[in-house]
Structure 1
Amino acid sequence: MTLDSPEAGPSGSKLPLHCTCKAVDGKGCLPELLWTAPDCHEEVKEYVLLCEDLDPPIPFLVFHHGLLWAIPASTTKAEAANVHPDEHAKISRLTVAGWRFVPNMLGLPYTGAGAPLGHGKHRYVFTIIALNESLKFKAPEKATKKDIKRAITGKVIGWAQWTGTFEKPWTN
């Protein structure tokens, strides 16, 4: 299984400015991501897409910028337009693409990179996870990151990662 970002380049590349807090809207957007299905004997039923900042200034904290699930098995691409909240997102936790999301600290499906000023280079790790079974919750609109983590146990048939970087250095 592979995960790439054609607009940003190979894993380890700098995120484009429009995918960061330096974007015009101050929030940034999801970089275009393309993936391939896992090469295995099991059929993909659903994907989960996670983006985490591994380098926040608070020890032992991993900040999730986006956690999207219920991504159809036929999907092999994610782009900014897919992760906009639908008009009822505060209640439904659905994106305009029909994907479910766990809100980040800003209550949104996804927020671009935003390393603190002078904190150095941050790594934003995007992980696509292929599942052999769809996730089911009694109240999907209330699912948490911990619920997703628990629910995918035993269902993962493949995963891939791509890392983008961003920093806001002090100017001279």
Structure 2
Amino acid sequence: MAILDYLEFIIGRILYPIRGHDSRQVLHCPALKGLPEPNMTLEAPDIGPSGSKLPIYCTCNADDGRGRLPELHWTVPDCHEQVIEYVLLCEDLDPPIPFLVFHHGLIWAIPASITRIQSSDVQPDEHAKSSRLTVSGWRFVPNLLGVPYVGAGAPLGHGKHRYVFTIVALNESLKFTAPEKATKNDIKRAMAGKVVGWGQWTGVFEKPWPL
């Protein structure tokens, strides 16, 4: 195992300059360009202000090897339009692959009555592989592991990664002929003309050397 750790570390150091894909995050998609400044506050009260270090239970070093979503709270947008639903994304802006941002979670169809979310809310329901529904009845776009959410997992040796959580408020529901097949790009396109607010919180994680 130590040999694999050293190999991962060496590769991580070699690829260290490949990072900082900020322009690829959802914040810069056409749907949000009409709202350049945040008008919502997104917080992780159990962790700290934006830029705080993610605790182990929110990372790949958690006991289950996957980590869980931090509890998040948000305010309604400071605007004159009614919110119909929310979209929540978590994106790693620093993966060692050029021009690529990984989404660790993309939850949509969150009702307007919801202003806080925790890990238990985004667990897949029993038919999630076909329905793409969480136990809360919200929809999700699978990440690379095929689940609604997976914790931070920066490669060993690649330094600190930023995990940006973005909450987006919509004045209209997202509708698809086959919502269980909707992709991240489908969501970004469908949000056009519907965004009335957004806010962000960032957690940071650097994978430590295994003990």
Q: TM-score normalised to the size of structure 1?
A: 0.98
Identity %: 78
CA RMSD of aligned residues (A): 1.0
1:45 and 2:84 matched = yes
* Alpha-carbon distance change, 171 to 138 in structure 1, aligned in 2, over 3 angstroms: closer
Higher helix share: 2
Aligned to 1:25: 64
Q: How many equivalent pairs are there?
A: 172
1:11–1:162 contact (8 Å) kept in structure 2: yes
Higher strand share: 1
Unaligned 5+ runs, structure 1 = none
Q: What is the SS of the residue equivalent to 1:162? A: strand
Match of 1:14 among 53, 68, 78: 53
1:47-86 equivalences in 2 (<5 Å):
47-86=86-125
1:1-172 equivalences in 2 (<5 Å):
1-170=40-209
| Partners of 1:76 and 1:155 in 2: CA distance | 18
Q: TM-score normalised to the size of structure 2?
A: 0.80
Return the offset for 1:94.
0.2
Q: Structure 1 stretches (4+) deviating beyond 6 angstroms?
A: none
Larger Rg: 2
| Partners of 1:64 and 1:51 in 2: CA distance | 6
1:120–1:169 contact (8 Å) kept in structure 2: no
| Partners of 1:165 and 1:29 in 2: CA distance | 14
Unaligned 5+ runs, structure 2 = 1-39
